[in-house]
Each structure stands twice: as C-alpha cells, then as structure tokens.
Amino acid sequence: MPALCRRPYPEPVQVTFGSFTPVAPVVLAPMAGVTNAPFRTMCREFAPGLVYVNEMVMAAAVVHGNAKTERMMTFTADERPRSLQLYGSDPELVGEAVRMLCGEGRIDHLDMNFGCPAAKVTRRGGGAAVPAKPNLLRAIVRAAVSAATPYGVPVTIKFRTGLFHSLLTHVTTGRIAAEEGVAAIALHARTAEQHYAGTADWDAIAELKAAVPSIPVLGNGDIWEAADAVAMMQHTGCDGVVVGRGCLGRPWLFRDLVDALQGRPVAPAPVLGEVCDVMARHARLLAEHMTEPLALRDFRKHTAWYFTGYPVGGEMRGRFSMVSSLAELDDLIAALDPATAIVPGGERIRRGHTNGPIRVALPAGYLDHLDDAAVPDDDDVMALSGG
C-alpha cells in the first residue's frame, strides 16, 4: 500500500444513504455471482448496520422483466437498506428501470455501475466504457437521479480511474456526479485495462476527494485487512471504503472494519473450526435460497476462499471443490482439525480475480467521438442480459 500520510484535504463528509446512516462508512461492493441474499446475510450477521449491495443487474433486463434478473433481485424480509446495483448505457431505459424499481418499493438505495471491465459489457458501451463519454454519462446519471428522487431513493455511482492510463476520467466523472445530485461516489482505483492486476492507485482517490469535496468519496481497492481501510482513509482523505475481493471467504471482515474504524481492537483471525462453522451456515442459507444441488454447486467456489491461508492440503481442497450435498459438506468438515490456525500473512493472500492487464473491448469507433451521447440499440442492450 502507499506510504501512510495524512493529506491536507477537507474533513470527512458524513456518509448517508437517504435516511439511513451506516454505523461505519463501509460498503460491500456488488460482485456478480457472490453478493446474493445469503452472502449478504452472512456479512450482516457479523456487522449489522452497514450497506451491503446486491449483484449488478441490467436496466434493460429490469424493464423487460427478464426472469433471471427477477430472481437476482432478492432481498430478505429484514434487510435494510435494500441496495441494488444497476447498469445500462441508454438513459431512457435506465430511467424507466429506476422508476419501476422505486415505484414498486423494491429498493432503498440504488448504485449505478460505471466500472465493470467485463468484455460483454464494455464491448457494447456499458460499464467502464461509459465515463469515456461525459455527455452520455451525464445523461444516464441525470435519468437515474430524476427517476429516483420522487421516491426518496438515493443514487450513488461506482467507477474506475478510466479505461487506460492514457484516458483517465475519474475526476470528470466525480464532478458530473456531484453536479447531477448523486449522494456519494466510489472509486475503484484501477483502470479497466488493469482489470484486477497490480496495485490500486490510492493517490487517484485522494485526487478525486480533493476535486469533489462536497459529497462523500469512498475508496475501493486493496483492502484485505481492517488496517488497510484505516490506512486508505488516512492516506487519501476519503470518507469511507468499499470492500470487494477482501471479504471473499471472510464475511467477518466487516466486523473487523467496524471495530478498526471505531477505534476498537480487531479480533485475531479465526481458527479453522470457526471458519468451518461459518461455511456450514453459509451453505445452508444458500440451500434455502435455491435447491440444495444448485446451492452446493455454487458454494464450491466459496470453499476455496474460506480456506485461503489455512494449511488444509490439496487433496482436501479438491474434495471440497466437488462437494454436492450438505451432508457431504458436514462429513468433510468433520475430518478437519478445528484448531488449525491461519498461516502468517494469510489474511493478505489475494482472493477472487487477479488477472490483468487486459485488452479492453469497445464498440467499433467508440473512442473516435468522445463528446457524443450515442447509445446502443435496445436489441444489443438486451443481448447482455442473457435472455
């Protein structure tokens, strides 16, 4: 991480989401295939009172009633705030989707994605491609805020530093967000080209905070332990943090973050038996959320993350990666030594995506006219929804 220093930026801004004020300025980043209702429940059990954002869904798919998207937009009865991330590159469709979501009372907070680097999104001008065209970005943000405001639903946006180091857009994006009435902004301090490789540029977060001091700025990137959040806020002057890969297999990280940011001691890493108790709880929540066979198939990736840093052994990891029932999971857990401790430095072993740099996929001629606000045809947009 960058050298620790306190920069002379404005005092932190109170981070609120409409009428909801989190107990600490900490947000769970939406992650495709991960931050569903069971995962968010696990995180809330360790740290209630934070903002946990659902998986990203597509505006066009919301408008057209895509069945898969409907299943993804699931919240538990006691979940507040109900936070959802939306993406789209057509202001009209985005506005309609937001009106539907707010009008039906389905959400309490809307986050807009302008940072996804996935080729299937950027090649049609969505996600991280949008901020390269500030007029299009402004139109989309304005449509979302205008549609959400009558319902009292706050809109936030999350974005990267730019497509490439030669085309940095984070400051312009932040200023547009502030001008259009966005409640808070979050910067993943990598370019789309970097993907998830290298080190997050925390200085870019500091630059953004200095440029838009009037609204909360949240930093995202390379928060693996609670101390990293404290260091990021001290280094950049940002008002809070967004946590993604660092919490994979570690939902207790949110408890640690709250403790660290409120000046309390952070608990030591759990021993393997405690990790396994969390794993079993998580798997059962998934089984309640979907059928048991589908749940265990989905849970396999989580087992690798839960075991990161623990000397479990390759053979046992392989068996967990093929688990197919809750009974089998329980039997495998029973064969482990519950007293096993994490290896030194195990908390900092990276989880999730680590690949990059990548070639950013963009529509033909996309960068030729950055001042236009052209959007893809609806048929192209719907192709992203998988249905």
In angstroms, rounded to a whole number, what is the distance separating the alpha carbons of residues 110 and 98? 8
- Tokens coding 215: 């609204």
Distances (CA, A) of 134 to 114, 120, 131, 153: 12, 21, 6, 24
Quickly tell me which residue has 């030194």 as its tokens. Answer: 344
Question: Which one, of 143, 138, 144, lies nearest residue 156 by Cα?
Answer: 144
Alpha-carbon 215 to chain mean position: 19
What pairing do the DSSP bridges indicate for beta strands 162-164 and 109-114?
unpaired
Q: Note whether 141 and 172 are within 8 A (CB).
A: no
In angstroms, rounded to a whole number, what is the distance separating the alpha carbons of residues 145 and 98? 9
In angstroms, rounded to a whole number, what is the distance separating the alpha carbons of residues 39 and 34? 7
In angstroms, rounded to a whole number, what is the distance separating the alpha carbons of residues 248 and 139? 34
Q: Residue 197: CB partners within 8 Å, gap ≥ 6?
A: 190, 354, 355, 356, 357
- Tokens coding 148: 């959400």
Active site residues: 116
Within 13 A of 24's CA, how many CA atoms are on the CB side? 24
Burial letters 189-210, b for 16+ CB under 10 A, else e = bbbbbbbbeeebbbebbbbbbb
Alpha-carbon 125 to chain mean position: 20
In angstroms, rounded to a whole number, what is the distance separating the alpha carbons of residues 56 and 295? 20
Q: Which DSSP letter does residue 268 get? A: P
